[in-house]
Structure 1
């Protein structure tokens, strides 16, 4: 099921992706690799693999809100801008949140998209 809006709750260990409309919520989780190696820059490489997998799950979604810690958001934003420029225009906002429940995430995202779409003059297909 491909839905118009999604919210991604992101930290450096996992991402929860919630696609939703007025009646449906589809949830997916992506976990970062836990491989350990003495190879130089291995942490950056596994983080890039993790962010790449998150981006793959976001393909085809029109508007995306990314939430989580400011550090994880910043790292993800940098990755998207550098490695996934086509996705940049679909990520319409970043917000810092602590550890919300799935219901709180969807409620936050619905409020965000309602305001965002009104400001852009777009009818919201929530």
Structure 2
């Protein structure tokens, strides 16, 4: 089930994707795969695989808010802009937060999208 809005909390090891509307929340977790090799660049490839899986989880969502540490957000933004421009165009904002609960994430995202949709002149389907 694909919904109009989603919030993604991420760091470099895991991501929580919460799709939601007024009455429903659908959660999906994505974990990074660690490849312990001596090969140069293996950490970068692992991060790209992880960020790619996060982008895959966002397919079909119109508006996405990405939250988490500033470093993880910056790395994810760089990846999405360079490798997944179709996903990047649906990301409407980035916010730095610590480790909120699922309910706190949803409340924060609903408030964010309400303001964002009003500013954009877009009626929110929430």
Name the TM-score class by shorter chain. Answer: over 0.9
Tell me the distance in 2 between the aligned counterparts of 1:66 and 1:118: 19
Tell me the distance in 1 between the aligned counterparts of 2:71 and 2:117: 26
The count of residues paired between Structure 1 and Structure 2 equals 126
* Structure 2 contact 35–43 (Cα < 8 Å) conserved: no
Instruction: Indicate the residue corresponding to 1:11 in structure 2.
Output: 11
**Gaps in structure 1 of 5+ consecutive residues:** none
Secondary structure, counterpart of 2:51 in structure 1: helix
Instruction: Indicate the residue corresponding to 1:25 in structure 2.
Output: 25
**Gaps in structure 2 of 5+ consecutive residues:** none
Structure 1 ranges of 4+ moved more than 6 A = none
Instruction: Indicate the residue corresponding to 1:50 in structure 2.
Output: 50
Query: What is the TM-score when the length of structure 2 is the normalising length?
Result: 0.99
Give the Å deviation of 1:93: 0.2
